[in-house]
């Protein structure tokens, strides 16, 4: 069974680890909802459905035609994310009465881990950097024409509410779990709704964060989705140098978009005292990857302009 990072943290008795996970999750609309499957080994090979077999009607005595589904075999390899956090022993001994320096440094390292994951979640590409896992742009492949890539215009166009409806409809087998977009795109949606005389549906998540909904789907804001994409011939050709952005509709789950992780998920490893300086080191690490088990569970609206 897939667990979100927040739920997995509840099973840990390590208070430092729980604090790190809470720091990672509370400001991330992705990690609040994205489930993770723990796998044994360094990767997972899975079959992504391409086309269903055909069905037809027959008369008595007809010759029946054989048809089988087609799949694309994909492999998602776990990648190593992490970093070391050093705390000077003198500062720890003389300044910890004001603030727990070690906890503060580890918390900031955890936030950096979250930021790196969210950036890679969108733009990760193992073809250009073998140390990364593939992100949304690569998994949906916005540089190739498909039913899951919707272009606002041949070279980009102003966002409309009808485009959002089309994006949601591109996700099959249930509504998306989230609409992930930049802050500029969310501001544009708010402006469109107000211009139409309506108001966005709002609520608060389990962490107390204010969230908005479109057609019952929560809107997640990512500071890592750029507003500088280049779109030409209804395809994304670059992520910088233009004025376009992308909105993603994602359905989370074990048969949809899902995170992969080694048993234990995020881990905190006390390295201890260092030989070359008077400091102690703590290592934060995460063996993680991303898998899209069904292509129709994710879609991208490209060429979104302000």
Is residue 302 a contact partner of residue 244, using CB atoms and an 8 Å limit? yes
Q: Residues 179, 242: one domain? A: yes
Q: Taking the model in full, what pTM does it have?
A: 0.87
Written as six digits, the tokens of 148 are: 């899951």
Q: Residues 121, 270: one domain? A: yes
> What is the mean predicted confidence (pLDDT) over 16-40?
78
Higher pLDDT: 199 or 120? It is 120
Question: 67 in a domain, yes or no?
Answer: no
> What is the mean predicted confidence (pLDDT) over 189-201?
91
Question: 55 in a domain, yes or no?
Answer: no
Domain count along the chain = 2
Q: Residues 199, 269: one domain? A: no
Question: 99 in a domain, yes or no?
Answer: yes
Q: Residues 122, 10: one domain? A: yes
Q: Mean pLDDT across the chain, nearest whole number?
A: 88
Q: Residues 301, 187: one domain? A: yes
Q: Residues 122, 82: one domain? A: yes
Q: Is a pLDDT exceeding 90 seen at residue 24?
A: no
Question: 150 in a domain, yes or no?
Answer: yes
Percent above pLDDT 90 for the chain: 56
Question: 65 in a domain, yes or no?
Answer: no
Q: Is a pLDDT exceeding 70 seen at residue 247?
A: yes
Q: Where do the DSSP E strands lie in the chain?
A: 3-4, 35-38, 43-51, 70-77, 79-88, 149-151, 157-158, 178-181, 201-204, 210-214, 217-221, 230-232, 235-238, 245-250, 257-261, 267-273, 279-292, 298-305
Here the CATH number for the domain that contains residue 128 is 3.30.2400.20
Domain of 106?
3-48+74-132+256-292
Predicted confidence band of residue 103 (pLDDT cuts 50, 70, 90): confident
Question: 63 in a domain, yes or no?
Answer: no
What stretch of H or E contains 32?
Answer: helix 29-33
- pLDDT of 96 reads 60
Q: Residues 185, 300: one domain? A: yes
């Amino acid at each position: 069974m897939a667990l979100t990072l927040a739920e997995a943290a509840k099973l840990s008795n390590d208070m430092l680890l729980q604090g790190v996970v809470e720091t990672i999750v509370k400001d991330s609309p992705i990690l609040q909802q994205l489930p993770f499957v723990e796998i044994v080994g360094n990767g997972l090979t899975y079959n992504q459905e391409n086309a269903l077999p055909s069905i037809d009607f027959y008369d008595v005595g007809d010759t029946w035609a054989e048809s089988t589904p087609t799949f694309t075999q994909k492999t998602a390899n776990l990648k190593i994310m992490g970093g070391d956090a050093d705390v000077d022993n003198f500062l720890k001994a003389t300044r910890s009465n004001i603030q727990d320096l070690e906890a503060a440094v580890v918390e900031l390292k955890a936030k950096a881990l979250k930021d790196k994951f969210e950036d890679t979640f969108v733009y990760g590409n193992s073809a250009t950097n073998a140390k990364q896992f593939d992100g949304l742009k690569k998994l949906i492949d916005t540089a190739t024409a498909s039913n899951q890539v919707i272009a606002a215009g041949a070279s980009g166009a102003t966002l409309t509410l009808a485009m959002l409806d089309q994006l949601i409809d591109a996700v099959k087998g249930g509504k998306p779990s989230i609409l992930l977009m930049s802050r500029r795109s969310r501001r544009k949606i708010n402006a469109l709704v107000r211009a139409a005389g309506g108001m966005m549906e709002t609520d608060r998540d389990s962490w107390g964060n204010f969230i908005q909904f479109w057609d019952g789907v929560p809107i997640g804001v990512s500071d890592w989705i750029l507003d500088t994409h280049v779109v030409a011939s209804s395809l994304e050709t670059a992520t910088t140098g233009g004025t376009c952005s992308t909105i993603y509709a994602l359905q989370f789950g074990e048969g949809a978009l899902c995170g992969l992780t080694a048993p234990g998920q995020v881990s905190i490893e006390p390295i201890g005292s260092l030989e070359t300086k008077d400091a102690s080191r703590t290592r934060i690490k995460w063996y993680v990857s991303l898998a899209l088990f069904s292509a129709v569970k994710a879609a991208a609206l490209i060429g979104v302009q302000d």
